[in-house]
Structure 1
Amino acid sequence: MCKPTLTYWSVFFSFGLCIAFLGPTLLDLRCQTQSSLSQITWVFFSQQFCLLLGSCLGGVFKRTLAQSLFALFASSLAISLVFAIIPLCHNVVVLAVVMAVAGLAMGCIDTISNMQLVKIYQKDSAIFLQALHFFVGFGALLSPLIADPFLSDTNCILSNSTANASSSTANASSNLPHIRKSLVPHHPGNLSHYDLPMKGMVVTRVSYAFWIMALINVSGWDLGVARDLGWEDPCSSGLGGAGACWEYQEYSRESGVLETSFGDEGHDDLLSCCQSRNFRGASYTYFAVHITGALVLFMTDGIVGEYSGFVYSYAVEEPLAVLHKVAGYLPSLFWGFITLGRLISIPVSYRMKPATMVFINVVGVLITFLLLLIFSSSVVFLFVGTASLGLFLSSTFPSMLAYTEDILQYQGCATTVLVTGAGIGEMVLQLLVGSIIHDRGSYSFLVCGMIFGCLAFTFYALLVFFHRMYPKPSPELDDASPDKAAVPDDTGQYQR
């Protein structure tokens, strides 16, 4: 299963590239579309909403490895085309539609990659999931670095009446780095007090950044995987676990194409998961595990979104009053330590159970927010706490996914439900915290983080409780499980 696994990892790099470029480039895209700040920030919502929709529907592509690989190829190719097309979008509505397409592709990548790695490796999936989420962090770290040399240092719309420009416009134009760091997805009201020109000659070089990212994305995997959409026999590759070998089902004599059928039980898209056939005979603990697992990720992924979105705004306000240039390093520090934490988690997950890793993560998040509240007047500890928070949040999603799927014995709809819950949390909590900060002040930023951390720990404790109550597999079922995998006999036939 080497080729499919490498494919899932590489498409998550595409996911990371696409998820992180919008914030730094948004001011230049505002100039390109000649729109207001409030109008252009709704492009965030277009991308995030369709990412959530794509996550819900991604389970449709579940029947075979070939089908899932083709879906991922199409999604990553769509992202490459989006990067190439963005410089040609001179209307904000057209740009929003293009970003919606990118969001759908990203959602499909998110659900399919997580789902298929869990299906292939099952009890051994934790280490492969950690590696998968390292690649999205690496892409998110690289994307702003590619864009940075091409960003405008001054306002990129030269007004025809520069001599009559208002003082507020001049002040805003001279303070673009501050505005750039203040851009918050889903909360455009935060920018209503800035007045930048919307008419005039557009001077921006950001198009080169998008074309470079399109070339990186294509050369990185699209061309290679398009040539090798086939897959290896999981029993002979040595990388797949017993579950991967057990999934080996069909051989087409006519075409000579190997297929892996994943069956119909569980791992559907969100709409299929809600069908009554999945409820027959299910105990209340079955539903409780799905719900509490999704709520843990709703909180932790929500913390990632709201912290990365608002830590800069919190730092530049009183009582810290950090210089804008210095505060601008905080989001980069946060994402850098998320990427570092995911890299460290790859070998750690080989030795440590997913349940233990999730416990360490949620407790670490709680303690970090508590210390940030205690030392709220310390600039040094804000940087230390930001790095610590990135480390503890880094491996929460893959560890939680592996733990929940293990509880449910790789049945049900855990992957789809958890991915959807995480996406909703990232979108909703960011909007909620933006509204609270606007009404209550910057200190509420840390208070909200502490509350979300407490809720994440509470839901995790409930998940452990329901895990203890969840029925164990019967010996009869265990004999038919992937652990009793099919192995080839002397004639090359697969028998159980």
Structure 2
Amino acid sequence: MTMASLESLAHRLLTTALIYFLFLQLAIRFGIFGPTILDLGTQLGVSQSQMSFVFSVTSIGVCVGAISSGFLFKWVPKQVALASIVVMLGIVVSFVTLIQDYYFFMVLQFIIGVTSGAAINACEAWILEIWQDSCPPYMQALQFFRGLGYILGPIIVEPFLIPEEDEDISPTSKSINQTKISGMVIKIVMNGTESTPSELENYIYIPYMINGLMLVLAAILVFFQYFYTVRKSRSANMMASSQATIISTITCEDKLSQSSDEKNEKESKREEPKLYTFSIIILCSLFYLFFFEEVVVTYLASFSANIDLHLTKSGGAFLTSIFNLCNVMGKGVSIVLALKLNHFTMLYMNLSVILISLVVLIIFSNTSLVMLWFGVCLLGVGLSSIIASLYALMESSITMNSMVCGVLNMSGTLGSVFVPLAIANYIESYPLSLIYASLFCALSCIVTLIVIHVLIGFRQKQHKQNQLIEEKPVMKF
């Protein structure tokens, strides 16, 4: 039994609330990046395609942080390591928008990715440690705060975006982004190779600094929580040592009972063939590799600004918030649906909604604002419970552990790296590349899911046949 299980309920709830606050700030950090891509590109003097590589660098950092933190937590107390990492993250986030050099900005984004990945991994592991067998609802709530952060991020950053004036854009000036500030029109050529530097009244550093300060505040609270826990643990140890004379030892019968329970527990776990387990892990990792929710969140503002409707940056930020709102609402509804529907039904249903939404966006995103909103809302709902259903599917098919979860997270992060690279050079000149890339990913997920369904169905059929053979009476001659 760990110290976490010995803590009072009030202490565990307060610690959980602290983790939720920290996780919310981590999600807001991600949520404010997408709507500010255009302004950051203007400030750095680079094109949108070049800014797309920044997202890939950040994703690589998240992957590195998630892996390296697992080793770090073996040598350093989790709370101390987490607080130190979050302090570093908060400082970098606070000042990253003040950087004028593109390559130095990419280095800082990589650091943000590493620290964010480590912090996310620590928060999830901490929730599991605190609640153990009772963790499912608290893990669901943790993901809810992730979605809430994605909603709040664009809303927080919207008032600080560089204002712009709607103007007719001729076919010969599609590569020019015109921004009017204080009566002066500043033309910035963003063709990927050259840019005209300009002194813009840029206020996007404000939401970044606020988020950075909130991260530092969360880190300080984690430090206090750690010192309080250590002090409480020492007091408990002193009381235990003073009462050592009345502590009874485990009897022989207790040991036999414990060993019997452990044996029954091991026998109750279904042991699947290694090849089958390995195949399920690989296929589910491939499924996660093609999952594209974070890519949509990041590029939706840029997509809406470059389509023929030419939404403003404020409109793009609001559209991203609506997408995230529908996504969070879908997560809530899926909790109820999961009680009635099996995992495959949930996945097929969500993927069908995604396909419908992508078809709507392909047909109407350049011509109808209403259908654009409808397609984006539908896409948010469709993407809401995909990963939760995938984890539930794996849990019902094989034995899950931290290593398997790590492989899945690695695949998801790699997908966040390669998909942006595929559309980086096209999002500005051909914004529908985001939708077509999403369609390819959705179709790949469907094909992979069908293979998983066939494999699991075949394995279940084998189980039934083996049970029939075992139950069949043996004929004696």
TM-score, structure 1 as length reference: 0.66
Residue in structure 2 matched with residue 212 of structure 1 by the alignment: 210
Question: 1:84-483 alignment to 2 at 5 Å?
Answer: 84-86=94-96, 89-115=99-125, 117=127, 125-153=135-163, 172-174=177-179, 191-192=190-191, 196-198=195-197, 201=199, 203-219=201-217, 221-229=218-226, 253=237, 283-300=274-291, 302-306=292-296, 309=299, 313=303, 316-317=306-307, 321=309, 323-324=311-312, 328=316, 329-345=318-334, 356-372=345-361, 378-411=368-401, 413-435=403-425, 441=430, 445-468=434-457, 469=459
In 2, distance between residues paired with 1:449 and 1:119?
Answer: 36
* CA deviation string 1:353-386 (max 9, x = no partner): 6555434323332343345556676542331121
Aligned pair count? 401
In 2, distance between residues paired with 1:371 and 1:29?
Answer: 30
Decide whether the 8 Å contact of 2:423 with 2:434 is kept in 1: yes
TM-score, structure 2 as length reference: 0.69
In 1, distance between residues paired with 2:193 and 2:335?
Answer: 44
Where does the alignment leave 5 or more consecutive residues of structure 2 unmatched?
A: 1-11, 166-171, 182-188, 230-234, 242-271, 464-477
Q: Which amino acid aligns with 2:400?
A: Y
Shift in Å, 1:82: 1.6
* CA deviation string 1:269-300 (max 9, x = no partner): xxxxxxxxxxxx96111111211221222222
In 2, distance between residues paired with 1:194 and 1:336?
Answer: 37
Q: Aligned residues: percent identity? A: 20
In 2, distance between residues paired with 1:148 and 1:406?
Answer: 43
Shift in Å, 1:419: 0.9
Q: Secondary structure at the match of 1:426?
A: helix
Decide whether the 8 Å contact of 1:50 with 1:101 is kept in 2: yes
In 2, distance between residues paired with 1:412 and 1:213?
Answer: 30
In 2, distance between residues paired with 1:316 and 1:104?
Answer: 31
Shift in Å, 1:453: 1.4
Decide whether the 8 Å contact of 1:127 with 1:346 is kept in 2: no
In 1, distance between residues paired with 2:425 and 2:203?
Answer: 34
Residue in structure 1 matched with residue 249 of structure 2 by the alignment: none
Decide whether the 8 Å contact of 1:118 with 1:125 is kept in 2: yes
Q: Secondary structure at the match of 1:152?
A: coil
Decide whether the 8 Å contact of 2:25 with 2:215 is kept in 1: yes
Taking structure 1 as reference, are residues 294 and 115 closer, same or farther at Cα in structure 2, changes over 3 Å only?
farther
Q: Which amino acid aligns with 1:132?
A: L
Q: Which amino acid aligns with 1:415?
A: C
Larger radius of gyration: 2
In 1, distance between residues paired with 2:26 and 2:140?
Answer: 15
Decide whether the 8 Å contact of 1:404 with 1:414 is kept in 2: no
Decide whether the 8 Å contact of 1:143 with 1:213 is kept in 2: no
In 1, distance between residues paired with 2:240 and 2:416?
Answer: 44
Residue in structure 2 matched with residue 49 of structure 1 by the alignment: 60
Shift in Å, 1:58: 3.5
Taking structure 1 as reference, are residues 195 and 368 closer, same or farther at Cα in structure 2, changes over 3 Å only?
same
In 2, distance between residues paired with 1:131 and 1:349?
Answer: 16
Q: Secondary structure at the match of 1:173?
A: strand
Decide whether the 8 Å contact of 2:31 with 2:153 is kept in 1: yes
Q: Secondary structure at the match of 1:380?
A: helix
In 2, distance between residues paired with 1:10 and 1:58?
Answer: 20
